[in-house]
Every structure is written in C-alpha cells, then in structure tokens.
Amino acid sequence: MIALVQRVARAHVEVAGRTVGAIGPGLLVLVCAEPADTQVQALRLVDKLLKLRIFADAAGRMNRSVQDLAGGLLVVPQFTLAADTAGGNRPSFAGAAPPERGRELYEAVLRLACERHAPVASGEFGAHMQVHLVNDGPVTIPLTIR
C-alpha cells in the first residue's frame, strides 16, 4: 500500500458540496492499494499510522503519535498515488489495484482504524472529492507498506 500522511490542524472532504468527513488536529491519510496488497498490508498501514511519532512533545520534538494526542484520522482513497510518469507526460495508473480490490482494501483500512482509534472520518471511494486541509508544520510523510 502507498500512503501520503499529512499532519493537519484540521481537514475535511466534500463530495458534491456536502462534507462527508472532517477532523480537527490529526492525520489526513491518502491511501492507494496496489495489486499485490492484502489485509496484511492494511493492518500494517493502520498500525504504522497510529504509532507514527510526528506530533510535538512538550520540548517541541516530534515524539508523539496521533494516539497520544487522541487526534483524528481522515482516511481518503487516492489511486493516483500509484501514478507512473516514466513513460511520458500522461500518467499510467497500472500500479494501482483494480477498483473493486482497491475499495475492499480501503474499507479494510477504515474498519481496522475504527476498531483501534477514534475519531476516524473518511472520504468516499470512487467519488470526485474536494479535500480541504490546514497542513500543520507542514509535515508530509510518504509511506510504502509491503
């Protein structure tokens, strides 16, 4: 799985003008399933997200996790993270899982996140979304989970 993690002061996702998911301080996580991914990668991703120490402690060092903060998770599907631009100017998305498998794994990430943490909000798989965020830092971390 591929994920792009952004530490945010707040974030929300809109679909057709309505808010479908919102959080205050926490992590905005853009998620892409790859063809070989399974539930194992979904679990590893959630474990990494919950333990990733990218929030400031009392000394101002990145030493606290979203769990330590009781911060939010906003999980948004984004197959374009698998873009391959090596062959020209139009990206290929062959590195992303097929839509039905991508949906299944995205939903697994959401389910696992909800079982282990609160609050968790989400985007909408397959929808055209507007993602609004205030990146805190800014801190943006790419993750590849194998």
Active-site positions read: 78-80
CA atoms within 13 A on the CB side of 31: 36
- Rounded CA-CA distance 35/26 in Å is 29
CA Rg value for the chain: 15
Query: How far is residue 50's CA from residue 32's CA, in Å, rounded to a whole number?
Result: 18
